[in-house]
């Protein structure tokens, strides 16, 4: 082997070793942080709380148990409708792949599922509103701010930017003169 080839091989080996050492140090320093799961919005041990449950943190400790009890009751009242709506949707999507697909019937079933979901949400919101009416003004303001944050968290950020960035629909000009 010539002196030139030996020098090139040594430099390539040095560069490869430096790269591997840097990779190892980077994995050692950043590995634990990169391997942690990102927060998932699913309730359970070690998971981020659902937005409505997280809203309880905005309340003083004396009001949190009542809020949690109200939310538990409201969710228990709506869980049957939500499950039924999901079941209807699954059946509707299964019907799409069947040979006797009827678009009108599937549309009607999806409308029925949507009605169940909206009804459940309306009941939940009514219960939360009724609870907030029992709170002092400062607590109600804190809860309102937390609920605003929960609403923002539930909306896909891409769609939020898309819709909030749109200008309002143009209004028809009004003529202050009386019509003749």
As a whole number, mean pLDDT of residues 111-140 equals 90
Task: Quote the pLDDT of residue 84.
Answer: 92
**CA 127 – CA 113 distance, rounded (Å):** 21
- The residue with greater pLDDT, 139 or 27, is 139
pLDDT class of 86 with cuts at 50, 70, 90: very high
**CA 74 – CA 120 distance, rounded (Å):** 9
Buried b (16+ CB within 10 A) or exposed e, 146-162: bbeebeeeeeeeeeeee
Q: For the CA atoms of 66, 67, 70, 76, what is the dihedral angle to 10 degrees?
A: -120
**CA 131 – CA 136 distance, rounded (Å):** 11
As a whole number, mean pLDDT of residues 4-29 equals 86
pLDDT in tens, 126-153: 898 898 899 899 988 888 888 887 776 6
Q: Give residue 41's Cα distance to chain centre.
A: 7
Task: Quote the pLDDT of residue 59.
Answer: 84
As a whole number, mean pLDDT of residues 3-27 equals 87
- H/E stretch holding 98: none
**CA 127 – CA 74 distance, rounded (Å):** 7
Task: Lowest mean pLDDT of 89-93, 104-108, 127-131, 176-180, name the range.
Answer: 176-180
pLDDT in tens, 32-75: 766 665 544 444 555 555 667 777 788 888 888 898 899 888 88
Asked if the model's pLDDT at residue 177 lies above 90, the reply is: no
* Percent of residues, the chain, with pLDDT higher than 70: 73
- Write down how long the chain is: 180
């Amino acid at each position: 082997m010539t002196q030139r080839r030996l020098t090139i091989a040594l430099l390539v080996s040095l560069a490869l070793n430096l790269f591997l050492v840097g990779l190892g140090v980077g994995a050692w320093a950043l590995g634990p942080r990169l391997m942690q799961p990102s927060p998932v919005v699913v309730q359970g041990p070690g998971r981020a709380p659902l937005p409505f449950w997280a809203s309880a943190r905005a309340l003083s400790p004396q009001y949190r148990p009542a809020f949690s009890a109200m939310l538990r009751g409201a969710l228990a009242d709506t869980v049957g409708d939500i499950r039924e709506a999901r079941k209807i949707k699954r059946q509707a999507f299964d019907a799409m792949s069947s040979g006797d697909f009827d678009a009108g019937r599937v549309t009607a079933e999806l409308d029925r599922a949507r009605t169940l979901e909206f009804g459940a949400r309306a009941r939940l919101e009514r219960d939360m509103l009724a609870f907030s009416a029992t709170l002092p003004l400062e607590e109600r303001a804190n809860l309102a701010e937390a609920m605003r944050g929960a609403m923002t968290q539930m909306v896909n950020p891409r769609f939020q930017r898309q819709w909030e960035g749109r200008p309002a629909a143009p209004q028809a000009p009004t003529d202050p003169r009386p019509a003749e």
